[in-house]
Structures are given as structure tokens and as C-alpha cells.
């Protein structure tokens, strides 16, 4: 990962800390009905802006080269959207008997339901030299799947606020997620040359809008006198998140490198990152929609806010190790495929 990208990620993580601190000092500004009017500016305008931005920045033409690698795509999507949330649900049945805050545990389940991210998995796969096209395809395809599957998973594992009907959730998702994405893709077709020439900072724009969403979410929390978060639960959740990530990265690595696997070392790199990373950009707006009216919404959001920097930190630390493994594995495979020289008599 290049220095500018690393700095951008660190800036965003610091931004999360800053907006939570500002929300703590003056929660009245960003609460529902407050001066910022988040029920309009955030719920509709900010969320739509994020997905219009995603549609504008998504290079659809880059995905066609990876389209036919069906086995890899199936592996990533099934692991991310079926195995991951189910495994977390089983794990949470054991954790439910502990004194850990129940809303943080529910937040862990929401992490499991999220689709892969559009950025971090691709950036790390590229940094290692893995199958970047497969990473781009699965991140983009997973995000599109997530628009439909993630709310269904959230409703399946957690239920929803009784004040928000099922049809209302999907109509809002359609208007604020699907429509802006499609419009972004259409606009991109007409200004593609300008976009490639100017290279607008799509990532930074989405990050700024996302910080606004996080800020208003925590304003609602700190304005509620009934919310109480104990430090013990928070420390345990951080430890659990790092443990889950390490375990799942190791698991996907084992599965994709077993003897009867047809995946190349470059494929394995894309699989490890795409299968275990979760989208904050999609996640926070979706939680806002699905759990509208929940007084514990920000506590549910905390594990996802921790998971995001944790996946970038862990991934960045593992880049040299994974790169070293991939290069040596590729050399070994190349040697085994070389034809033997004929023996001279």
C-alpha cells in the first residue's frame, strides 16, 4: 500500500475519533430534529451522495476480464454472505451468556451480514500483487448483492424496529442506494474521459460524507441519557474482532490452497482479502435505514466502526508476509511445470 493511501486511511480513522468526540461535546447539533436536520440531510441526501459517488467511480469495464472466474466468485460470495454471518451467529450464542453488552454483540452480528468493501480489499490485493481484477469484481458484485442480501440477513438474524415496515426499508434502500448507483454509472459513460483525466478524489469524498453519517449517529446516542457503554465490553469486542479477522483469513487461506484447489497463488490473495473484509461505506447507511428508530443504533454500529480500521491495519501488516508467500509459491509452481531436459546418452 502506497504512502498517500496509508495517510488517507489514517486520516479517516482519526476523523472517526474526532467526529465521535465532537458529538460527545455537543450532541444537540446533529440529533434528529436538530439544526443539521439529519432525518433529511443524512437519511436521504448523504446516503444517496455516497452511492452516486460509488456508481461514478466504479470502472465497469475492468470487471469484464474477471467475469468468467465463476468458482472464485462463488467461493468469495458464499463465504462472505452465508458462512460469515452464520458462523458469527453460532459464536454469539456462546457469548450471550457473558456480561458483554448485548447491543455490541448485536453489532458483531451486523458486521457478519455486511458485503465486501469496494476499496480496502482491492487496495491490499494490488499491494501484494494478487488477482486485482478478481478483487475488483467481487468487491463490486458483493456490494450490489449486499443491497438486497444484507438487509435480509439483518432482518433474519436481528429483526427490525417495529416502527419501520419491511416494504419501507426496501423502498428507501432502492431510492437512496440502487437509483443513485445506476445514475452514477450512466453519468460515468458520458464523462468517462474527463474522469480518467482529472481523477477526482472519490474515496475522500465518500469518507467525508461517511463521517457526517457517523457524527449524527453518535449525536443521537449521546443525547440519550439511557445509553451506557462499559469499557470492559468495548475492550473484549476489540479483541474478538481481531481474533475473528485472523481466524477467517487463515481459514480462507487453508481452503483456497488445499491440494485439490484450482486457485492460483494470486487468486488466493484476492480470496483472503475479499472474503474477510466488510464494507463500512455500505454498512453504516444500511444500519441507519434498517434500524431507524432504534435508540441503540450507535452501539450496534460500534463493532463495524472498529472492524473497518482493524481490517486495514491487519491487512497492511500482513502484506509483506503474503507477498513473500505468493512469490515463492509461484516460483515453486513454475519449476514443477517446466519440462524435464532429455537425458544425453
297-320 residue pLDDT tens? 778 888 988 887 788 778 878 888
pLDDT at 339: 59
- The top-scoring range by mean pLDDT among 79-83, 284-288, 340-344 is 79-83
Task: Work out the percent of the chain whose per-residue pLDDT is above 90.
Answer: 18
Provide the CATH number for the domain around residue 127: 1.20.1530.20
Of the pLDDT bands very low, low, confident and very high (cuts 50, 70, 90), residue 158 is confident
Is residue 161's pLDDT more than 60?
A: no
On whether residue 342 sits in a domain, the answer given is no
What is the Cα Rg of the chain in Å?
Answer: 21
Indicate the average pLDDT of the chain: 81
Helix (H, G, I), strand (E, B) or coil at 261: coil
C-alpha cell at 255: 481452503
Please compute, for residue 104, the number of CA atoms within 13 A of its CA located in the half-sphere on the CB side. Answer: 25
- Spatial CB neighbours of 116, under 8 Å, sequence gap ≥ 6: 76, 80, 138, 139, 142, 143, 146, 274, 275, 277, 278, 279
On whether residue 334 sits in a domain, the answer given is no
C-alpha cell at 12: 479517516
Q: What number is the average pLDDT over the span 323-328?
A: 90
Q: What number is the average pLDDT over the span 244-262?
A: 90
pLDDT at 85: 95
Q: What number is the average pLDDT over the span 95-119?
A: 87
On whether residue 105 sits in a domain, the answer given is yes
**Domain of residue 249, residue span:** 3-329
Of the pLDDT bands very low, low, confident and very high (cuts 50, 70, 90), residue 86 is very high
pLDDT at 333: 80
pLDDT 10s digits, 26-79: 888 888 788 888 878 877 888 788 778 877 876 766 556 666 778 898 999 999
On whether residue 67 sits in a domain, the answer given is yes
Per the listing, cell 452514477 goes with 184
pLDDT at 320: 86
On whether residue 85 sits in a domain, the answer given is yes
C-alpha 289/C-alpha 140 separation (Å) is 21
Q: What number is the average pLDDT over the span 120-147?
A: 81
On whether residue 246 sits in a domain, the answer given is yes
Q: What number is the average pLDDT over the span 341-345?
A: 53
**Length, in residues, of the chain:** 345
Cβ atoms 322, 316 nearer than 8 A: no
On whether residue 208 sits in a domain, the answer given is yes
Task: Work out the percent of the chain whose per-residue pLDDT is above 70.
Answer: 85
pLDDT at 163: 47
Of the pLDDT bands very low, low, confident and very high (cuts 50, 70, 90), residue 3 is very low
Of the pLDDT bands very low, low, confident and very high (cuts 50, 70, 90), residue 276 is very high
C-alpha cell at 218: 453518535
Is residue 342's pLDDT more than 60?
A: no
Is residue 131's pLDDT more than 60?
A: yes
For the chain, how many structural domains are there in total?
Answer: 1
> What is the pTM assigned to this prediction?
0.73
Of the pLDDT bands very low, low, confident and very high (cuts 50, 70, 90), residue 250 is very high
On whether residue 227 sits in a domain, the answer given is yes
Higher pLDDT, 8 or 197: 197
pLDDT at 1: 45
Is residue 248's pLDDT more than 90?
A: yes
pLDDT at 31: 81
Amino acid at each position: 500500500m502506497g504512502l498517500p493511501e496509508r495517510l488517507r486511511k489514517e486520516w479517516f480513522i482519526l476523523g472517526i475519533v474526532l467526529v465521535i468526540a465532537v458529538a460527545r461535546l455537543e450532541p444537540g447539533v446533529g440529533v434528529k430534529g436538530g439544526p443539521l436536520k439529519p432525518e433529511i440531510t443524512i437519511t436521504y441526501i448523504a446516503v444517496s451522495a455516497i452511492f452516486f459517488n460509488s456508481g461514478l467511480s466504479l470502472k465497469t469495464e475492468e470487471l469484464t476480464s474477471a467475469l468468467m472466474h465463476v468458482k472464485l466468485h462463488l467461493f468469495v460470495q458464499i463465504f462472505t454472505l452465508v458462512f460469515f454471518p452464520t458462523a458469527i451467529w453460532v459464536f454469539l450464542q456462546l457469548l450471550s451468556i457473558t456480561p458483554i453488552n448485548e447491543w455490541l454483540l448485536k453489532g458483531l452480528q451486523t458486521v457478519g451480514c455486511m458485503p465486501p468493501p469496494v476499496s480496502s480489499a482491492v487496495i491490499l490485493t494490488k499491494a501484494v500483487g494478487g488477482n486485482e481484477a478478481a478483487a475488483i469484481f467481487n468487491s463490486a458484485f458483493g456490494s450490489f448483492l449486499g443491497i438486497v442480501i444484507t438487509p435480509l440477513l439483518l432482518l433474519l438474524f436481528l429483526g427490525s424496529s417495529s416502527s419501520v415496515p419491511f416494504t419501507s426499508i426496501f423502498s428507501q434502500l432502492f431510492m437512496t442506494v440502487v437509483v443513485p448507483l445506476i445514475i452514477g454509472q450512466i453519468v460515468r459513460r458520458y464523462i468517462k474521459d474527463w474522469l480518467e483525466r482529472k481523477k477526482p478524489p472519490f474515496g475522500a469524498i465518500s469518507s467525508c460524507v461517511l463521517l457526517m453519517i457517523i457524527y449524527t449517529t453518535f449525536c443521537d446516542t449521546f443525547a440519550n441519557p439511557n445509553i451506557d457503554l462499559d469499557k470492559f465490553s468495548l475492550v473484549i469486542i476489540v479483541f474478538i474482532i481481531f481474533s475473528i479477522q485472523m481466524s477467517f483469513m487463515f481459514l480462507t487461506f487453508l481452503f483456497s490452497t488445499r491440494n485439490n484447489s484450482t486457485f492460483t497463488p494470486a487468486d488466493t490473495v484476492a480470496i483472503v482479502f475479499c472474503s474477510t473484509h466488510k464494507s463500512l461505506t455500505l454498512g453504516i447507511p444500511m444500519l441507519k435505514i434498517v434500524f431507524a428508530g432504534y435508540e441503540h443504533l450507535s452501539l450496534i454500529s460500534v463493532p463495524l466502526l472498529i472492524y473497518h480500521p482493524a481490517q486495514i491495519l491487519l491487512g497492511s501488516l500482513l502484506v509483506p508476509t503474503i507477498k513473500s508467500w505468493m512469490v515463492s509459491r509461484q516460483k515453486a509452481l513454475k519449476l514443477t511445470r517446466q519440462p524435464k531436459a532429455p537425458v544425453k546418452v
